[in-house]
């Protein structure tokens, strides 16, 4: 009888330890997959932000005055930025989500400024006229928001 109890106890301990090890592996694998999904989603969003910024600047450079609303919206929508923003909202930590929304809003501010007035987006402009001053005033908050977003993403991915 004692042998049977010892055998059953050993079997229960063996099954329990196997189940615990498997649960640990499953959690680790799930975390690794989530990290990959986040890293890829974050990269897609950053790429969409950068390309949308470039598309807006290219549209402004082609025009001597303010952008038409349709032209600005076309440039703003050219990289599926809103879809990427929603994707980040699903996979991101709250900190990254807030930073992603802020970067989106600052880029949208640029779009609205380009509709309202002509902005000189050239980085080689040497004159300090109103168009370049206005451009810097509207673009700098976007650059700052983008830097903060990258830092939040980096902390989220690296677990700091």
Q: What is the pLDDT of residues 100-152, one digit of tens each?
A: 999 999 999 999 999 998 877 765 444 555 557 788 899 999 999 999 999 99
pLDDT of residue 152: 98
Domain range list for the chain: 2-158
Q: What pLDDT, on a 0 to 100 scale, did the predictor assign at position 156? A: 94
Token couple for 148: 């903060």
Per DSSP, 13 falls in state H
Structural Rg of the chain based on CA atoms: 25
pTM comes to 0.78
CATH level 3 topology of 2-158? 1.20.120
The pLDDT of residue 125: 46
Q: What is the pLDDT of residue 29?
A: 66
As given in the structure block, the two tokens for residue 46 are 């950053």
């Amino acid at each position: 009888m004692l042998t049977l109890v010892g055998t059953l106890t050993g079997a229960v301990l063996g099954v329990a330890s196997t189940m615990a090890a498997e649960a640990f592996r499953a959690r680790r694998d799930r975390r690794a997959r989530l990290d990959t999904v986040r890293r890829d989603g974050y990269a897609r969003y950053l790429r969409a932000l950068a390309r949308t910024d470039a598309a807006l600047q290219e549209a402004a450079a082609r025009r001597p005055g303010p952008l038409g609303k349709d032209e600005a919206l076309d440039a703003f929508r050219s990289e599926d930025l809103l879809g990427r923003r929603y994707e980040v909202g699903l996979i991101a930590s709250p900190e990254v989500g807030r930073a992603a929304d802020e970067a989106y809003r600052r880029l949208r501010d640029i779009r609205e400024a380009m509709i309202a007035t002509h902005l000189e987006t050239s980085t080689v402009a040497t004159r300090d006229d109103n168009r370049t001053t206005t451009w810097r005033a509207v673009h700098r908050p976007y650059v700052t928001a983008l830097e903060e977003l990258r830092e939040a993403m980096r902390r989220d991915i690296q677990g700091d």
